Amino acid sequence: MTKHSAIVGGSTAGRLLACPGSFKATQALPPSADISSEYANEGTAMHAVMDRLAHQRALIADGMPEHPQATPEHWIGQHFVDRALTAEHVDEMIEPALRALDELEVIYGDNFKVVGVEERVAFPGVPGAFGTVDLILANHDTVILADWKFGSGVPVKAVYHDAEGDLVNPQLLFYTTAAHNTLKKLFRGKTTLVAAIIQPRADEPLTHTTITRTDMKWFKEDMAAAVVEALERDPIRRRGEHCRFAPCKVDCPLWTGPMLELSALTPKPRTEPVDNKLTPYGQYLADAKALADQLAMFSNEVNDQLHAYLEDGGMVPGWRLKAKVKQRQWIDEDTVVKRLTNLGLTLDEIYQTKLGTFKQVEAAARRHGTEIPDELRVAPATHETTVCRTDDPAPVVQRHLAIEQFAASLALLKGSQKQG
């Protein structure tokens, strides 16, 4: 049984709203074009761990005695979906996700019970539209719908902020509206509806928002209108951030167009002096960067679909498959140590000891019931910068002022050395 709706689901709701033409365009692609990445497979495995924890929590709440070894640390080495759970998985994803969930429950009154795990819910008004909610919790006056995200690249938030105001994540709106439609007994009275994204490897692991009945009403209407438009003869296509994971951009003229625009972009030499006002060279860099970023996203999709097509037996002129080279690894540790010791190597030469990562040591500290003092971790001083978009919340660095301050500090340092 598939976990994704053919017409629209939680993960595609935002895309369909923004680009009704994406539905037919995706349907026209070969089935193998919508492939799963290694990151997605890892996320699926971590979802399985969280599902097991949630089911276990529900059983304990119903009276089953808690097993002392029924914790993620004791599951290390066990297989979940396609891989064995590792200490890194637990320290960097599972434990931080559980802490974020604890924080979320405290915010909304605590005393929550698990009422749904991988719950399939049907979206109202659109035949065949459904989604799967990762986790549903409820207490006496609040229902929480939590969605796990285990990626580290693209941060996903419950609410996005832009010049037009706040926009609730369409995926969360889809799940909440569908759950409200399917699990009617759960939402009686003045129940508060909370939707949350828990992404343990993001800078902001927990984001959440309340969703009103009015929000769901408007979203239901918008979704129905988008589906109607998507099924028309020539639905409109739009390019934007919603295309990031859309396989249909591989043949979308709105995406192939930037390649022509980039090739036609006339390079402008840097002739004028640096100025903090807009110059032709500054505008050229802005245009070239925008096109280059779009081209990178397009290139990734082409590479994924090229690989999938060849894997399915297709022929692509100039390209073929080869075996993926993987790093060699030791056989079992006992055998390796014994054989290397017989060859004359000492244990100090066979093993190496180094500090663990912050996340690994933090996890160990929590197991000991203690915290790592802040003074043990410092951010090195830097005068280096990196590029970000103008809407990034980080403080603005005025480079000429930073250089002047650095030079002044250096002069003071030299002066104090002479005096010493």
Q: What is the pLDDT of residues 174-207, one digit of tens each?
A: 999 999 999 988 888 788 999 999 999 888 999 9
CB-side exposure of 314: number of CA atoms within 13 Å?
16
Distance CA 309, CA 32 (A): 7
Closest CA to 48 of 176, 150, 201: 150
Distance CA 211, CA 158 (A): 11
What pLDDT is stored for residue 258 in this prediction? 66
Q: Is the pLDDT of residue 230 over 50?
A: yes
Instruction: Report d(CA 310, CA 32) in Å as an integer.
Output: 10
pLDDT interval class at 413 (50, 70, 90): low
Amino acid at 40: A
Q: If we measure between CA atoms, which residue out of 244, 214, 275 comes closest to residue 14?
A: 244
Residue 88 has pLDDT above 80, yes or no: yes
Per-residue model confidence (pLDDT) at position 55:
92
Q: Which residues of 348-374 are buried (b: 16+ CB within 10 A; e: fewer)?
A: eeeeeeeeeeebeebbeeeeeeeeeee
Of 215, 206, 84, 204, nearest to 148 by C-alpha is 206
- Sort strands 142-148 and 192-198 into parallel, antiparallel or unpaired: parallel
Alpha-carbon gap, residue 330 to 46, rounded angstroms: 26
Which of 133-142, 167-176, 365-374 is predicted least confidently? 365-374
Tell whether the model's pLDDT for residue 18 goes beyond 90: no
Query: What's the rounded Cα separation, in Å, for the pair 305 and 326?
Result: 22
Which percentage of the chain shows pLDDT scores above 90? 26
Q: What is the DSSP annotation of 227-296? A: HHHHTSSS-----SGGGTT-GGGGG-HHHHHHHHHHHHPPP----SPP-SS--HHHHHHHHHHHHHHHHH
Tokens of 136: 């549903």
The pair of structure tokens assigned to 60 is 């304990």
- Interatomic CA distance for residues 46 and 39, integer angstroms: 11
Start-end of CATH 3.90.320 domains in the chain? 10-230
DSSP assignment letter at 160: E
Distances in Å between the alpha carbon of 243 and those of 15, 21, 299?
A: 7, 12, 13
Range from 69-73, 181-185, 206-210 that averages highest in pLDDT: 206-210
Answer for the pair 145, 176: CB distance below 8 angstroms, yes or no: yes
Distance (Å, whole) CA 404 – CA 399: 9
Q: Is the pLDDT of residue 242 over 90?
A: no
More confident residue, 377 or 66: 377
Higher per-residue confidence, 326 vs 25: 25
* Segment 269-285 mean pLDDT: 73
Name the residue among 75, 193, 213 with its Cα closest to residue 141: 193
Radius of gyration of the chain (CA): 26
Looking at every residue in the chain, the average pLDDT score rounds to 82
CA 172/CA 327 separation, integer angstroms: 40
Helix/strand/coil percent split, the chain, to 5: 50, 10, 40
Reported as a single tens digit per residue, the pLDDT across 259-270 is 666 666 676 666
Does pLDDT of 4 surpass 60? no
Q: How confident is the model at residue 272 (pLDDT cuts 50, 70, 90)?
A: low
Mean pLDDT of 125-136: 89
CB-CB contact of 382 with 388 (8 Å): no
Neighbours of 226 (CB within 10 A): 22
**Which pairing describes strands 206-210 and 130-138: parallel, antiparallel, or unpaired?**
unpaired
Instruction: Specify the pLDDT at position 321.
Output: 84
Amino acid at 128: G
Alpha-helical (H) ranges within 167-279 are 170-182, 213-230, 253-264
CB contact at 8 A, 52 and 276: no
Q: Say what the pLDDT of residue 403 is.
A: 47
pLDDT for the residue numbered 282: 80
With cut-offs at 50, 70 and 90, classify the pLDDT of residue 217.
Answer: very high
pLDDT tier at 2, thresholds 50, 70, 90: very low
Classify the C-alpha dihedral 198-300-5-48 as positive or negative: negative
| Overall average pLDDT of the 357-366 stretch | 79
Rounded average pLDDT over 139-162: 88
Q: Which of 85, 68, 67, 88 is nearest to 76 (CA)?
A: 85
3-state secondary structure 19-39: CCCHHHHHHCCCHHHCCCCHH
pLDDT recorded at residue 409? 53
> Which range scores top for mean pLDDT: 39-48, 112-121, 250-259, 264-273?
112-121
**40/81 Cα distance (integer angstroms):** 12
- Amino acid occupying residue 268: K
The CATH-assigned architecture of domain 10-230 is Alpha-Beta Complex (3.90)
Q: Could you read off the pLDDT of 381-406 as tens digits, one per residue?
A: 777 777 777 777 777 766 555 445 54
**Lowest mean pLDDT: which of 58-72, 173-187, 311-325?**
58-72
> Looking at 65-69, 111-115, 148-152, 387-391, which range is the least confident one?
65-69
pTM above 0.95, yes or no: no
